[in-house]
Structure 1
Amino acid sequence: MEGETQKFSVCMSVYKNDNTADFTDAVLSIYNQTCPPDEIILVIDGPVSMTMYDAIEVLKEKTGIMKIIPLEQNMGHAIARQTAIEIAKNDLCAVMDADDISLPDRFEKQLQAFENYPDVSVIGGFINEFIRTVDNVVGSRIVPECDIDIKNYMKSRCPMNLVTVMFKKKDIMNVGGYQDWYCEEDYYLWIRLALAGYKFYNIQENLVNVRVGEKMYQRRGGKKYFLSEARLQKYMFDHKLITYPRYIYNVLIRWIVQVAMPNKLRGWVFRKFARK
């Protein structure tokens, strides 16, 4: 397959709260691929533990393709991801988190999809969410396949699983790249790409196993999180991506789930209605 020889970069970041063993598993999962990257850009987002620094050095030597970019202080996901993208030498870039596990043929499938759909800018897929071990799956996030369905889905929820995406760097940079928007940097990016006319595609298979826990649902609640999401809905309305009734409905649902609802109930709602 021609796509197997196409070069691409993987963009990652790590910070002080990331687990060293999980980070090692994440890096090895993108290195031991049927179609491996020819570079891994790792942004160290502020100081980390000596254990993590040691693990990074071991992985750098083991893979031989890791480029380390240290930041003096923690700058957050948006700046860390954007830094990695700017430094990446290839036009195709994949995103990877510091504690998830990519399936061994993830990149092979994405490269093939870019060959099949050359006019697409971003390609993602499904995720399986697990607790402690990958066989303890507690949910799956299923997303639409085709561009038209993805953009319709975007009107109510984020249509791409960030940790699965591979994209064309030039298209991402054309809309300003990753920009800071509390907990919504990726959703904001997809919206700007859609408004600019770029296309999306989701492979209808699981590409990444994602670690989750109760804290995940806590992070998806609270006044600050709600206000960030409400502001993003207003951005979509202002740019005529959604109607006023849809805007009011989206904000109301988010207020109920993110502000009025306790964490345990929120976790149940996410598993029941936002996951397979």
Structure 2
Amino acid sequence: MDYKFSVLMSVYKNDNSEYFSIALDSIINQTLVPNEIVIVIDGEIPETTEKVIEEKKKIYSNFNVVRLPKNQGQSIALNEGLKNCTYNLVARMDADDISEFERFEKQINVFKEDNKVVVTSGYTLDVSSNGDDYGIREVPLSFEEVKKYFKRRSPVNHGACMYKRDFILKVGGYKDFKQTQDYILWGDILKNGGLIKNIPEVLLKVRVDDNYSRKRTLLYIKEELKTQKYFYSISMLGKKDLIINFFCRVLVRLVPSKLLFIIYKKFLRG
């Protein structure tokens, strides 16, 4: 098997250019440097963000920049990016996160140890813009734990994952969901027999400052319901799971944002 790999990112107008620069630095300064970085520019972006890409090209030359004429959303942007990835192994990275120094080396080793693995991720550390730690988001490790965990929550940290492009395309790539497209993808992979194996180490720092209020919106609640119905339709959840998840994943979004933040920190961590 060829262990060359791409890193797939999408960036749009609201992404912070300074954070984007730091994210790229964390990619090109790894112990194992990617063979290419595919950046999907999802619509028009500020000149400051364009300048970040041009500056990084002076340090790292293997950028593949894909431009969408207007903003399409992350699902469409990532699907377009997957089509333009040269290598079968693809690492995901968001435009404002920070990969740990040995992340890619550790993930490639997972595929070397077990060629049946389709997806690997690891723990992530939530941080604020001023560097405060909000806690570690752990994920299940054994495949049996992954399948059990999936029934309640996403078993993979999306921004910290690496996967096989051919398998992702085989199950239809990212579905057209705004917030839960990654969770849907893990369900499709498990439904089609894909093996998920996680690493018990922090691989990524994730900025989470504005996530909690966004998850309270009516749009998110509607999508959460749509997500649970989708899993039920493909027999990944039973009726009992559907009812439990309605209370655990949907009703919690109706609580005040400050209380939701406390719940998230104290009870929704690993």
Q: TM over 0.5: same fold?
A: yes
The residue identity in structure 2 corresponding to 1:91 is N
Q: How does 1:242-253 map to 2 (within 5 A)?
A: 242-253=237-248
Task: Specify the SS of the correspondent of 1:177.
Answer: coil
Q: How many Å separate the matches in 1 of 2:67 and 2:58?
A: 17
Shift of 1:238: 2.2
Task: Specify the SS of the correspondent of 1:108.
Answer: helix
2:84 is the counterpart of 1:90: no
Q: How many Å separate the matches in 2 of 1:196 and 1:225?
A: 27
* Equivalent residue number for residue 44 of structure 1: 41
User: How many residues are treated as equivalent by the alignment?
Assistant: 270
* Equivalent residue number for residue 235 of structure 1: 230
Deviating above 6 A after TM superposition, structure 1's stretches of 4 or more consecutive aligned residues are none
Q: How many Å separate the matches in 2 of 1:85 and 1:60?
A: 21
Q: How does 1:70-219 map to 2 (within 5 A)?
A: 70-134=67-131, 136-213=132-209, 215-219=210-214
2:72 is the counterpart of 1:56: no
Q: Deviations over 1:234-261 (max 9, x none)?
A: 12222222221111110122232112x0
Q: How does 1:30-41 map to 2 (within 5 A)?
A: 30-41=27-38
Q: How many Å separate the matches in 2 of 1:139 and 1:124?
A: 17
Q: How many Å separate the matches in 2 of 1:254 and 1:32?
A: 38
2:267 is the counterpart of 1:273: yes
Q: How many Å separate the matches in 2 of 1:40 and 1:155?
A: 33
Q: How many Å separate the matches in 1 of 2:3 and 2:190?
A: 26
Task: Specify the SS of the correspondent of 1:121.
Answer: strand
Q: What is the TM-score with the length of structure 2 in the denominator?
A: 0.97
2:22 is the counterpart of 1:25: yes
Q: Deviations over 1:67-86 (max 9, x none)?
A: 11111111111011111111
CA contact (8 A) 2:119 2:197 kept: yes
Shift of 1:223: 1.7
Q: Closer, same or farther in 2 for the Cα pair 1:133/1:6, shift >3 Å? A: farther
Q: How many Å separate the matches in 1 of 2:18 and 2:71?
A: 21
Q: How many Å separate the matches in 1 of 2:38 and 2:231?
A: 32
Q: Deviations over 1:153-172 (max 9, x none)?
A: 11011110000100011110
CA contact (8 A) 2:74 2:178 kept: no
Q: How many Å separate the matches in 1 of 2:178 and 2:49?
A: 26
With 247-256 and 13-22 compared, the bigger mean Cα shift is at 247-256
Shift of 1:230: 1.2
* Equivalent residue number for residue 262 of structure 1: 256
Q: How many Å separate the matches in 2 of 1:256 and 1:84?
A: 34
Q: How many Å separate the matches in 1 of 2:10 and 2:250?
A: 31
Where does structure 2 lack aligned partners over 5 or more consecutive residues? none
2:5 is the counterpart of 1:11: no
Shift of 1:59: 1.2
Matched-pair identity in % = 37
Q: What is the TM-score with the length of structure 1 in the denominator?
A: 0.95
The residue identity in structure 2 corresponding to 1:27 is L
Shift of 1:133: 4.3
Q: How many Å separate the matches in 2 of 1:147 and 1:60?
A: 39
Shift of 1:194: 0.7
Shift of 1:193: 0.7
Q: How many Å separate the matches in 2 of 1:131 and 1:198?
A: 34
Q: How many Å separate the matches in 2 of 1:52 and 1:92?
A: 26
Shift of 1:203: 0.3
Task: Specify the SS of the correspondent of 1:63.
Answer: coil
* 1:69 equivalent among 57, 63, 66: 66
